[in-house]
Amino acid sequence: MAVYMCLDLKSFYASVECADLGVDPFTTPLVVADASRGLGAITLAISPALKQLGVKNRCRLFEIPSTIEYMAVKPRMRRYMEVSAAIYGVLLDYVAPEDIHVYSIDEYFIDVTPYSRLYKKTYRELALLFKDSVLEQTKIHATVGLGTNLFLAKVALDVLAKHAPQGIGMLNEELFKEKIWHHQPITDIWQIGKGIANRLHKYGVVDLHGITTVPEERWYKEFGVNAELLIDHAWGREACTMKEIHAYRPAKHSLSRGQILLRNYSYEECFVPLREMVESLLLELIAEKALTKYISLGVRYADRTVKGTGGSRRLSKYTCSLEVLSQAVLELYKETTYPHQEIRQLSVGFDDLVSREAIPWEEDLFSTSQDREEKAYQVERTVLTIKEKFGGNSILRASSLQEEGTMQFRNTLVGGHNAT
């Protein structure tokens, strides 16, 4: 029988700030918000202490009762990424990368099936081991859901773990019917938002059990192919496994990015936009859950009588490492580009994409490079998550703030044009 764990970092942004300040998030009223924007600023996170006082997450500062004294700290996305990567590293001390799926910056799915026997612990004891290790090494508290499939693990986390002893909820299909079937509101259930809940309400359905009482053909008529997932979840079933998540194959076979520079650039100035282009492509690569083994480069000069240069290169192995790909592109640039010609246009490509999980690790018992690559991957994946949520300029590398950087400007464009 498979057993999955869903580990969530409690009030993550606020907990990181409390940990860095050396205060207890359960007793310290703290909000993560840019107070310099005024009382209308949205709180990105609040500490458990404020939640206990009835303050809602994602509220605006003016919505916090004036009778409550609290500390406001400005968001530090890079710091949160660092801590998230560190926690991923803690988990890698116990489980293999292929048994972890990073769901978000503060949530992880883990297939713990083989580890009960390996560590001679029950699944609850494993959950305590992981929670305690994360707390000891990062001072971040976690809650855990355990389930016999991915869906049950997530529901055990979202619905049961908050009120369960030691912050650990557990579900199998029988317990699911007992504890979750009649739970309300139904929007507490993973992947059921207000829109779906309103459509269910048309049929008098207010909980998961109600879904099972309606003929399935009605749900297919209402939701189309998405009805299959809704029906499965109503019965506590989930067909997707960790192996299938990792076996995902990208729809694209190559990625490329090109730009006409804002002005004529010298040979040396192009190093900055080239690094930016590699970073942008890397985030696309991570979004595709893919690796690449081939890079390509194109350079066109301000003097149109000079023939463009560039080429392609095969790497020694498939990768999604920013360090490896940046180095390869810059080396190709140095080898093929005329250093005394001004440059007007650049293009970079990644080719022969494969699923990240389709390529096995080449084990080296005397090297920590695998862990380094996994942790670096987690950092970049977190960058992607934050940029998707808060915009392309929410996180920029220091080099992008140099005069030669183009990313900050290009992130303001829509379809390559000014947004206003």
C-alpha to C-alpha distances, 384 to 109, 244, 279, 320, nearest whole angstrom: 18, 22, 10, 13
Q: Residues with Cβ < 8 Å from 277, sequence gap 6 or more?
A: 257, 259, 346, 348
Q: What is the pLDDT of residues 258-281, one digit of tens each?
A: 988 888 999 999 999 999 899 889
CA distance 362 to 296: 25
Q: What percent of the chain stands above pLDDT 90?
A: 60
C-alpha to C-alpha distances, 255 to 156, 187, 277, 283, nearest whole angstrom: 39, 38, 11, 11
Give CATH for domain 181-235. Answer: 1.10.150
CA distance 384 to 392: 9
The segment(s) of the chain belonging to CATH 3.40.1170.60 are 12-75
Low-confidence winner among 82-86, 260-264, 340-344, 374-378 (lowest mean pLDDT): 374-378
pLDDT of res. 370: 55
Q: What is the pLDDT of residues 175-207, one digit of tens each?
A: 999 999 999 999 999 989 888 999 999 999 999
pLDDT higher than threshold 70 for residue 344: yes
Q: Residues with Cβ < 8 Å from 325, sequence gap 6 or more?
A: 278, 281, 282, 292, 295, 319, 350
Average pLDDT, whole number, for the chain? 86
413: confidence class by pLDDT, cuts 50, 70, 90: very low
Phi-psi region of 205 (alpha: psi -120 to 50; beta: other; left: phi over 0): beta
Q: Which residue has the tokens 């059990």?
A: 209
Give CATH for domain 12-75. Answer: 3.40.1170.60
CA 22 to chain centre: 27
78: confidence class by pLDDT, cuts 50, 70, 90: confident
Pick the CATH number of 254-418 from 1.10.1740.10, 3.40.640.10, 3.30.1490.100, 3.40.50.300: 3.30.1490.100
The segment(s) of the chain belonging to CATH 1.10.150 are 181-235
